[in-house]
Amino acid sequence: MQKLRLSQSLQQKLSPQQIQFIKLLQVPTAELESRVEEELEINPALEEGEDETPEDEYEENEKGEEEESKEEQEELDITDYLKDDDQANYKTYNDGGDDEDDREMPIPMSTSLHENLMTQLGFLGLSDHQKIIGKQLIGSIEGDGYIRRPLESIVNDLAFAQGVETSLDEVEEVLFKIQGFDPAGIAARNLQECLLLQLEREDDGQDVDVIVGKRIISECYEEFTKKHYQKIQKKLDLDDEDYIKDAIEVIVKLNPKPGGEVSGGGVKNQYVIPDFILSNNNGKLELSLNSRNAPELRISRSYSEMFKAYDKSNKKDKKLKEAVTFVKQKLDAAKWFIDAIRQRQHTLLRTMRAIIDFQYEYFLDGDETKLKPMILKDIAQIIDMDISTVSRVASSKSIQTDFGIYPLKYFFSEGISTDSGEEVSSREVKQIIKELIDSEDKQKPFSDDKLEGLLNNKGYNIARRTVAKYREQLNIPVARLRKEFK
């Protein structure tokens, strides 16, 4: 028998403004422009450009009315929208002055991966609904060409952020179309799918090596990653081991990171647009945001005039009231978006300044040996923000310095103690591991236990499991897979 029970609990929910801020904070500069364009398309109350309207043009409600009837009190409160406040005309700041020269970045950029894919999307002749799905999928493609965000989450993103109801099948259908774009292997969800997409592109039905390669990746992928070639031969029931050898040669020539090449050319594109610019002016470090982070946004003047007209009109007009209610919703959304852009800039600068202060010695000349161990918690405590906020800033942002462009993740590392009691960055230990493996005898490669001993002999107190973790982070396989035969 079912029973109804009442329970009381405390729950923390994010406001629409907080959700808007979190989403924008994660967006790198390269994608911010398209995000702003999307908002401009769906919200007519938001406009680009500076507001040239005189401050005294907007009229305020007349005061002096002693009482309002109950009916009047139920009318829309539009006072906030009649006065010219700072949010009605907000130009986001750059923290680097008003120099017009700062508006353009002096970084040569060829066609980006996403621009290339968006161009190809336009040739498919998709419906408007499918185009929205396609844009969302392309926006989810990472720099190496993969879509790692689950498709179920993309369905939720479309519903939540854009109000587009779709299904997993519809998203997959558009994804399969995008996977046919150049470069081959793009929009794969994992390495296995990436290799299969490239093999499919090469398969003309006659090349035996490609046909066998497809079977290896689709039916024996785990054995392939472990180089268990005899198991592959047995599983595929192939008499001649040369079939396996020739197919493997085809597979290893495929591109595991298709996002790093221009279709057909094999020329690397420069996809990184720095979010910050740091310059050393005679020993003084000067930080500014990339000017692309400072879009000029304002509330539509025509929308404000609609409120003034409503304020002077017969407020019992039902149709007019419904129209103003719609306008108010759009205006709220516009103000939220502008405020989220402002908060994004403030948080980015505050976080980056804390990182620079922490790694000040390094940023003076770029000497890696001066990088100190630093984790997300260190910066979160300095700026008094949640670790998740710092993580969102560091995960997809980069900084241009006098000695190169670096992702913010580069400056975070764990600490390792030495025999002398000094704490060094894990980056230094990783570099030593890489040097040891590069110089090893490939017929007798070092095991993780051996690497642990070599590092301990050098004075680094490190455990075998930590060696294995750092080796994996360097994308270096285990000793058995590094072994070579004469």
Mean pLDDT of 240-255: 85
Contact, 45 vs 334, CB < 8 A?
A: yes
High-pLDDT (> 70) share of the chain, %:
75
The CA distance from 39 to 413, in Å, is 37
Which is it for strands 276-281 and 398-401: parallel, antiparallel or unpaired? parallel
Bridge partner list, 279: 286
Q: 3-state DSSP call for residue 381?
A: helix
Task: State the pLDDT confidence band at 308, using cuts at 50, 70 and 90.
Answer: low
Which pLDDT does position 248 carry in this prediction?
A: 87
Which pLDDT does position 302 carry in this prediction?
A: 77
Which pLDDT does position 176 carry in this prediction?
A: 94
Which pLDDT does position 90 carry in this prediction?
A: 38
Looking at 32-36, 100-104, 140-144, 308-312, which range is the least confident one? 100-104
Q: Which tokens sit at 354? A: 């804390």
Considering 12-16, 249-253, 270-274, 427-431, the range whose residues carry the highest mean pLDDT is: 249-253
Q: What is the phi-psi region of residue 367: left when phi exceeds 0, alpha when psi lies from -120 to 50, beta otherwise? A: beta
Task: State the pLDDT confidence band at 352, using cuts at 50, 70 and 90.
Answer: very high
Task: State yes or no: pLDDT of 377 exceeds 90.
Answer: no
Which pLDDT does position 14 carry in this prediction?
A: 60
What number of other Cβ atoms are within 10 A of residue 135's Cβ?
Answer: 19
Delineate the domains of the chain, giving CATH numbers in brackets. Answer: 15-54+76-100+271-412 (no CATH), 113-178 (no CATH), 191-254 (no CATH), 415-482 (1.10.10.60)
Query: Percentage helix, strand, coil, to 5, in the chain?
Result: 55, 10, 40
Sequence-distant (6+) residues with CB within 8 A of 160 are none
Which pLDDT does position 486 carry in this prediction?
A: 53
Which pLDDT does position 197 carry in this prediction?
A: 94
Which pLDDT does position 196 carry in this prediction?
A: 93
DSSP code for 410: G
Give the residue, 92 or 35, on which the prediction is more confident.
35
Task: State yes or no: pLDDT of 61 exceeds 90.
Answer: no
Q: Which tokens sit at 72? A: 């009047």
Task: State the pLDDT confidence band at 403, using cuts at 50, 70 and 90.
Answer: confident
Task: State yes or no: pLDDT of 106 exceeds 60.
Answer: no
The CA distance from 477 to 475, in Å, is 6
Continuous segment of H or E residues that includes residue 464: helix 464-473
**Is the omega angle on the peptide bond into residue 150 within 30 degrees of 0, that is, cis?**
no
Mean pLDDT of 454-467: 85
Residue 333 phi/psi, 5-degree rounding, is: -60, -40
The CA distance from 276 to 273, in Å, is 9
Which pLDDT does position 436 carry in this prediction?
A: 92
Which is it for strands 89-91 and 296-299: parallel, antiparallel or unpaired? antiparallel
Task: State yes or no: pLDDT of 126 exceeds 80.
Answer: yes
For residue range 309-349, list pLDDT tens digits in order. 666 665 556 776 777 777 778 888 888 888 888 888 899 99
Q: 3-state DSSP call for residue 302?
A: helix
Q: What is the average pLDDT score of the chain?
A: 77
The CA distance from 210 to 243, in Å, is 10
For residue range 185-227, list pLDDT tens digits in order. 999 999 999 999 999 988 877 788 889 899 999 999 988 888 8
Which pLDDT does position 446 carry in this prediction?
A: 92
Looking at 17-26, 245-254, 461-470, which range is the least confident one? 17-26
Quick one: which of 348, 336, 423 has its CA closest to 385? 348
For residue range 215-224, list pLDDT tens digits in order. 999 999 988 8
Mean pLDDT of 397-412: 86
Task: State the pLDDT confidence band at 74, using cuts at 50, 70 and 90.
Answer: very low
Task: State the pLDDT confidence band at 298, using cuts at 50, 70 and 90.
Answer: confident
Q: Which tokens sit at 18? A: 């907080």
Q: What is the pTM of this model?
A: 0.49
Which pLDDT does position 296 carry in this prediction?
A: 80
Mean pLDDT of 351-358: 94
Task: State the pLDDT confidence band at 417, using cuts at 50, 70 and 90.
Answer: low
The CA distance from 303 to 78, in Å, is 12
